[in-house]
Amino acid sequence: MSEPRHQALIDVLGAELVPVRRLLPPWLRTAGWLALVAAFAVLLFAHYGDAPMLRRWAGAPDLAWAALGAVLTAVTAAWAAFTLAVPGRSRAWAWLPLPPALLWIGASGLGCLRTWLAPGTSIATLHQSADCLVFIIGFSIPLSALLVWLLRRACPLRPLLAALLVGLASASASACLLEICHAYDAAATDLLTHALAVGIVVAANAVMGGRLLSRQ
């Protein structure tokens, strides 16, 4: 039996007790979020088809490696965010997206060194690169919103870290979706635009998502 002071609170909490539905495991919640990403991908494939993307990848495999890195970054960042939103889980989970992110960045960077153009692509002008920025930010908004909403159902005790992972997951997932309809080859301006878009999404999540997640 605890001291009377705490016992009063325990009695109140006991009186308020109702059965609760346990939180689903992090991998299952990650799969739920990825279902929305997949739904967006299906819509984009329906509109653009997969042939141009596969032709680009066949001609320039670094684009395929970069896309694989972005997909794995999205999956691991979301998984880490859901795991860290459960109290008692190690913060080492936050490092999980690092290897795929390095693959994504490395393959994208190497693509800029290539001396031939991937089939069916051109080098994006500054205006065309801006469209990529709008695409990544535009798709990141609903993806981030859903992630934040799902994480608020858990208990993210490190809200800023969780928000950074939300930003990384959303931005990398949006970059994957962009790959479906991205008719531009890897180049410094395009790479910088993508990096800027990812940076904006991560920073916006750190500011806004961090506040939303800290109300626990």
Partner 1 sequence: MTADGSLVWDGGFAPPTDCRVSVSAEPASANEQAERRRAAWMAAAQAGDRRAYERVLADSVALVRAVARRHGVGADALDDVVQETLLTVHRVRHTYDPARSYDAWLGAIAGRRAIDTLRSQGRRGRRELHDEFALDSHPDRDDASDDAERRQQARRLREAIAQLPPGQREAVEQLGLREQSLAEAAAQTGRNTGALKVNLHRALKALRGRLNGDP
- Cα–Cα nearest to 156, from 80, 76, 208: 80
Q: Are 117 and 177 in contact (CB under 8 A)?
A: no
Site for partner 1 contains 23 (CB under 8 A): yes
Least distance (Å) from partner 1 to the CB of residue 8?
Answer: 5
Region near partner 1 per CB under 8 A, out of 117-125, 150-158, 170-178, 181-189: 150-158
The tokens describing 142, both together, are 């609903």
Site for partner 1 contains 154 (CB under 8 A): yes
3-state class of 60 per DSSP? coil
Site for partner 1 contains 16 (CB under 8 A): yes
Least distance (Å) from partner 1 to the CB of residue 158?
Answer: 8
Distance from C-alpha of 190 to C-alpha of 62, rounded to nearest angstrom: 15
Using CB under 8 A as the binding rule, the residues of this chain from 93 to 122 that contact partner 1 are 93
Closest CB to partner 1 among 58 and 211? 211
3-state class of 122 per DSSP? strand
The tokens describing 75, both together, are 């999956």
- Cα–Cα nearest to 186, from 102, 101, 116, 100: 116
Using CB under 8 A as the binding rule, the residues of this chain from 66 to 95 that contact partner 1 are 83, 85-93
Query: Which residues have C-beta within 8 Å of that of residue 112, sequence separation ≥ 6?
Result: 186, 187, 188, 191
Among 4, 13, 46, 115, binds partner 1 (CB under 8 A): 13
3-state class of 184 per DSSP? strand
Among 21, 47, 113, 126, binds partner 1 (CB under 8 A): 21
The tokens describing 175, both together, are 């970059």
Site for partner 1 contains 17 (CB under 8 A): yes
Least distance (Å) from partner 1 to the CB of residue 88?
Answer: 4
Site for partner 1 contains 3 (CB under 8 A): yes
Contacts with partner 1 by CB under 8 A lie at 1-3, 5-23, 25, 83, 85-93, 154-155, 157, 216
